[in-house]
Amino acid sequence: MATAPEPSAQISTDLGSDLPASSAPIETTHDDGAPTDTHSTRLMLTTAAHFVQQHLHSQLAELGLTPLDLSVLSGLAELREATAREIAEQCLLSESVSERSLIELTQLGFVETQQGVHRITDAGASALADARTLEDALFAETSTTLRLELSSLISRLRDGGVLDAK
């Protein structure tokens, strides 16, 4: 299993220091009277990512996976078969990081490799399905609304950092 840093090592656990002590956000109103949250979007996204990562990391560990392994396994599943370089490009990772994860996934029996081409095994497909079930349970989403909104946000950021849909 690839060793990923603890979530707290990647994102400070003090993310909430700018947040009020109570769980209710401080609200103000727009000129039209509609309430608006005073926390920055960056802070809210970072805080949400931290909590998701922390919870998912512990749940994936029970499957023998790290978030990095899940990313590589997901990328490989989308490609069906691929080289380490192709997987790295698919997952936005360096080739060396991809290769290390692939070695661990192969040792777990989740990936098989022949002549530099990697394929997901039945055990890997099962682990990936279990991991996706964990992700779905984390959000208790029965629809794809959240995923579609996040995909749109990521696309807009990738295409120039403009969050306004205009």
Q: How many residues does the chain have?
A: 166
User: Does residue 90 fall inside a structural domain?
Assistant: yes
Taking only the tens place, the pLDDT of each residue in 122-144 is: 999 999 999 988 888 877 755 66
The DSSP code sequence of 5-57 is: --HHHHS-TTGGGGS-SSSSPPEEE-TTS-EEE-S-HHHHHHHHHHHHHHHHH
Quote the pLDDT of residue 49.
Answer: 82
Quote the pLDDT of residue 77.
Answer: 95
User: Does residue 35 fall inside a structural domain?
Assistant: no
Q: Give CA angle at 5 (116, 159), nearest 5°.
A: 70
User: Does residue 11 fall inside a structural domain?
Assistant: no
Split into its structural domains, the chain has a count of 1
Q: How far is CA 160 from the centre of its chain?
A: 21
User: Does residue 158 fall inside a structural domain?
Assistant: no
Taking only the tens place, the pLDDT of each residue in 21-77 is: 334 444 445 455 544 556 677 787 888 888 878 888 899 999 999 989 999 999 999
User: Does residue 74 fall inside a structural domain?
Assistant: yes
Residue 154 reports pLDDT greater than 70: yes
User: Does residue 55 fall inside a structural domain?
Assistant: yes
Residue 79 belongs to domain spanning = 41-140
**Does the global pTM surpass 0.85?**
no
For 122, the token pair is 């039945």
Q: What average pLDDT does this structure show over 76-80?
A: 94
Residue 20 reports pLDDT greater than 50: no
Quote the pLDDT of residue 165.
Answer: 52
Q: Is the dihedral of CA 3, 9, 10, 11 positive or negative?
A: positive
User: Does residue 49 fall inside a structural domain?
Assistant: yes
Which three-class secondary structure state does DSSP give residue 110?
coil
Quote the pLDDT of residue 85.
Answer: 96
Quote the pLDDT of residue 24.
Answer: 45
Residue 52: CATH number of its domain: 1.10.10.10
Q: What average pLDDT does this structure show over 153-160?
A: 79
CA distance to 58, 60, 81, per residue, from 64 (Å) = 10, 6, 22
Quote the pLDDT of residue 36.
Answer: 53
User: Does residue 4 fall inside a structural domain?
Assistant: no
